[in-house]
């Protein structure tokens, strides 16, 4: 009975010598994913953000006309501010998780209860903003570009319902390429960190 209980991950964590593992097993969290899993999910979200580039490149002429100068790649539409916000959120969340992962790798067995609680708080906040706030912003951004792909009828219906042109100009110099390329690079970085932490952190 004792042997089988210790094979259970939660039971093993509760009797672990690690303050981090014991606190993690007892806490309530919306996300039960490990740090490597969360980093991989955030990498996927950033890859979805990078899709804004092919979406913009393949817009039909009716949607291109809504962009300043009719060029989705060279213009700075205000909807891209949402993309910049999403990229910043995912970057901050990724840095937070990388910090937690590094501290666990270096001092996992020597963390005090206070330090372990601090790392869990950072992990929770990073997971929340990365998997919820950032994901919603990315889906909204891609959704508007997909609306452009739906054709003139869908765009006209959106504007007639009181929506404002999401592709109108903004003075802030944020372009599709300026959003998509960093998102793709950071996505690869987070996937690499996920792979590395999956191999060096206790499972």
Which tens digits make up the pLDDT trace of 73-112?
Answer: 989 999 999 999 999 999 999 999 999 999 988 887 688 8
Query: Rounded to an integer, what is the distance from CA 38 to the centroid of its chain?
Result: 9
**pLDDT over 90 (residue 12):** no
Question: Environment class of residue 48 by beta-carbon count within 10 Å: exposed (0-12), middle (13-18) or buried (19+)?
Answer: middle
The conformation of residue 169, written as its DSSP 8-state character, comes to B
Mean pLDDT of the chain: 86
Domain assignments of the chain as residue spans, ordered by start: 37-55+80-203
Q: Which of 7-16, 58-67, 123-132 has the lowest mean pLDDT?
A: 7-16
Rounded to an integer, the average pLDDT of 114-133 is: 91
Distance CA 86, CA 83 (A): 5
Which tens digits make up the pLDDT trace of 144-203?
Answer: 999 989 877 788 888 888 778 888 888 999 999 999 999 999 999 999 999 999 998 876
Give the contacts of 66 (CB within 8 A, at least 6 positions apart).
148, 155, 165, 167, 168
């Amino acid at each position: 009975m004792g042997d089988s209980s210790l094979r259970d991950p939660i039971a093993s964590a509760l009797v672990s010598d690690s303050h981090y593992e014991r606190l993690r097993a007892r806490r309530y969290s919306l996300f039960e994913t490990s740090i490597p899993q969360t980093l991989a999910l955030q990498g996927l979200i950033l890859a979805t953000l990078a899709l804004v580039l092919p979406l913009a490149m393949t817009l039909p002429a009716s949607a291109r006309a809504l962009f300043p100068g009719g060029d989705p790649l060279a213009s700075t539409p205000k909807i891209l501010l949402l993309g910049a916000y999403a990229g910043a959120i995912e970057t901050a969340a990724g840095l937070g998780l990388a910090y937690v992962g590094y501290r666990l790798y270096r001092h996992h067995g020597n963390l005090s209860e206070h330090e372990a609680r601090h790392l869990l708080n950072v992990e929770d906040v990073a997971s929340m903003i990365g998997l919820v706030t950032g994901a919603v912003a990315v889906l909204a951004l891609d959704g508007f570009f997909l609306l452009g792909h739906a054709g003139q009828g869908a765009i006209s219906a959106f504007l007639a319902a009181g929506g404002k042109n999401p592709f109108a100009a903004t003075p802030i110099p944020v372009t599709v390429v300026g959003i998509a390329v960093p998102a793709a690079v950071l996505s690869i970085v987070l996937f690499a960190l996920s792979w590395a932490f999956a191999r060096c952190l206790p499972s």
